Each structure stands twice: as structure tokens, then as C-alpha cells.
Amino acid sequence: MRKLFKKVVCIVFAMAMVCAVAIGMVACDKTPVIAVVAKGETHAFWQSVKSGAEAAGKKYGYKITFKGPTAESEEYVPNQREFVTQALNNANTKALVLATIGTGFVDELVSAYDKGIPVVEFDSGLYNNGADITAGKDPTVASVASDNRAAAALAAQKFYDNQKSAIEAATSGDPYVICIIQHDSSQTGIDRANGFKDKIDELAATQKEAGTFESYIEVKTNNSGEYKAALQASQTRANAADAVFMCNEGVVNECYPEVTDNKDKYANIVFCGFDAGTNQIDWIKGKVAGAGKLIGSVAQDSYQIGYQAVEQAAFAVEKKTVTKEVGIAGTWYDSTNIDQMIASNIVYEG
């Protein structure tokens, strides 16, 4: 019995030592953390953002935690809030990089302020122009995002260069018409649609004054089928659209099947896109013969969004100079450089 007792005591002591060592290892892990809470995690765009964030973390000596909901829908706001709370409760968290998909983060942002944890907005930043920011307790130190107006203006310039002769050949009886499908009413959607429209109107000002050019915006709400319906409607109006600008990947993903399923209907329509993804890549490469042409798109540099957001967070922690507004330029890609853009992690598949 005594031997059995000693054996049990030894086993219990050994287990206690193992637990103590494990706890000690966890406790000794003092690597400072920059927590990134994104609007998504699995999509190729967010994986590219994550890669950039981790690269910056490695450069500046921070561990990066990266979390996001399964879908970019406001119903997942509670999940995002939980991710933020977990990050703020981690004693090693030194900064938070955050892009929200809805409102409701007042308590979390006040908590970040009270704990002295700087917050860097990224991608579309804090939803609804910072509606959750409490006066006097604003933890945000920087914003890193695509310059959507500038990127859309770049798309308009490239589009005009491609279609200049067709636009100039239009008549008042048969004007050149561009339909702009805006993916939602967020600031991102507004900036992309108006950035394209303002620039294309500027470039075609002479034709517009002569009544031979028209551009118009269709604002949709990201409900299934609305983008497809907008495309269909562009062909049934009095002056049918000669071209369509699609403000994000979601619009492309609805329009592409409609175009390929009805090739004769859209054979002479010219398209221009925003963002990336497999459908956009296949469309630019002309994998479906006879479909309306996608001349090119402007991509967000998702890798740089992640990298520079974490970089500004590191600067804030280390009391270095922080750039309040970091605008990431868009990159144009078409059939001439698409493979290079994929290899450079700017144009993603998926």
C-alpha cells in the first residue's frame, strides 16, 4: 500500500511539474502583440492582407493575431466584438488594427482608449465614419485604406484611353452611355462610383456638352440579384449602355455569368472592373469566347493595406511619427500585365 501511495504521489508531482512548466512557458511569452480584426478571414483578399500584416509584424518584432468573421455581413458584428474583446483582454496586446462591418463597438473602443491601446483603422475603417467614437475617448491614431476615388479615377482614365475613338464617334441621336453599378451606399461605394464618374465626365466633357455622352450611377444594396438586374436594365432603357463600370468584385461575380450566358445580348458591351478574383481574371483573359469584353480592372493592393496598417500600429506603440491618413494607390491590370499582378500578390484568385 505504501509503495502504491508513493507511486501515486510521484505521478501527481510529475503532472504538477509538467503543468508548472507549461504555465511558465506561456507566462514567459512576452512577445508584444498587434491584434488585427478584419471584416473577413478566408477570402483571398483577406489572406493577402494577413500576409502583409505578418510581414510588417516580423520586421518590427510583433506577433500578429488575425481574426475575422466567416462573412462580411452585419449579422457577424457580435463575432467581431468578441474578437476585439479577446484582443483587449490579452496582456500582451499593444495595438489593435480594426475594420468593422457594422456599428456597436463603443464599449470596446472606449476600453482600448482607457487601456492606452492605439487603434489603427484599415480597409474601410470604422463603419459609418466612426459612429462609435466617443468624444474625448478616441483611441484611433491612423487610417490605412485604398484611396477609392483615386483608384476609380485611374480606371476611368484607362477606360477612356481604350474607348476614346468610340466616345468621340457618338452622336446626339446615339450617345455613348456608361452605366456605373455601385455596390452599396457605404463611403467606399460612393467614392468608387463618383471617382469614376467625375473623371470620365471630365475626360468626355466636350462630348457631354454636345449631348453625345452620358454616364449614370445605379446604387444597389448587395442583395442577391440586384447587380444582375442593374446590368439587364442598362440594356432596356431608352439609351442602352455601351459600357458598364462595376464597382467591386461582387458586382463582377453577378455580371459575368449574365454576360457569358447571354453572349449575343452583351457581345458589343465593354466592361471595366474593380477588385480581383477568379471571375475577373477569367473574363480579362477571354476564357469565354464571344462574351462582352472586360478591358481591365483596378485592384486594391491588399498586401500593402495589411503591411502599412501594422506598420502604423508599431509606430504608435513605439512613439514614432504616425501618418494619420495612409492612402494605398490602386493598380490597373489588363491582359498585358495580369500574370505579373497575380505573381506580385496584387491580383488574387479565389
Rounded CA-CA distance 211/172 in Å is 5
Q: Are 257 and 312 members of one domain?
A: no
Is residue 331 a contact partner of residue 342, using CB atoms and an 8 Å limit?
A: no
HSE-CB at 105 with a 13 A cutoff on CA atoms is 36
Rounded CA-CA distance 325/306 in Å is 14
Q: Are 136 and 268 members of one domain?
A: no
Domain with 317, as residue range(s), is 33-146+301-328
Q: Are 76 and 193 members of one domain?
A: no
Q: What are the tens digits of pLDDT across the range 264-300?
A: 999 999 999 999 999 999 999 999 999 999 999 999 8
Question: Is 23 part of any domain?
Answer: no
Q: Are 158 and 209 members of one domain?
A: yes
Residue 71, Cβ density class (10 Å: 0-12 exposed, 13-18 middle, ≥19 buried): middle
Question: Is 293 part of any domain?
Answer: yes
Q: What are the tens digits of pLDDT across the range 59-86?
A: 999 999 999 999 888 899 999 999 999 9
- Number of domains, the chain: 2
Q: Are 231 and 270 members of one domain?
A: yes
SS3 144: strand
Whole-angstrom CA distances from 38 to 97, 208, 322, 325, 336 are 8, 42, 21, 18, 32
Which of 238, 236, 276 lies closest to 256 in space, CA to CA? 276
Q: Are 317 and 225 members of one domain?
A: no
SS3 222: coil
Question: Is 26 part of any domain?
Answer: no
Could you tell me which residues are beta bridge partners of residue 181? 218, 246
Which of 248, 240, 241, 244 lies closest to 186 in space, CA to CA? 248
Q: Are 207 and 115 members of one domain?
A: no
Whole-angstrom CA distances from 237 to 35, 177, 234, 277 are 49, 11, 6, 30
CA dihedral 346, 43, 144, 321 (to 10 degrees): -90
Q: What are the tens digits of pLDDT across the range 95-152?
A: 999 999 888 999 999 999 999 999 999 987 776 667 889 999 999 999 999 899 999 9
Q: Are 289 and 171 members of one domain?
A: yes
Question: Is 309 part of any domain?
Answer: yes
SS3 323: coil
CATH classification of the domain holding 249: 3.40.50.2300
Question: Is 176 part of any domain?
Answer: yes
Question: Is 272 part of any domain?
Answer: yes
Give the pLDDT score at 129. Answer: 66
Give the pLDDT score at 74. Answer: 83
Is residue 142 a contact partner of residue 169, using CB atoms and an 8 Å limit?
A: no
Rounded CA-CA distance 218/233 in Å is 10
- Pick from 39-53, 170-184, 225-239, 245-259: least confident: 39-53
Question: Is 19 part of any domain?
Answer: no
Which of 143, 158, 151 lies closest to 193 in space, CA to CA? 151
Q: Are 200 and 227 members of one domain?
A: yes
What's the pLDDT band for 26 if we cut at 50, 70, 90? very low
Q: Are 55 and 192 members of one domain?
A: no
The overall average pLDDT reported for the chain is: 90
Question: Is 340 part of any domain?
Answer: no
Q: Are 159 and 240 members of one domain?
A: yes
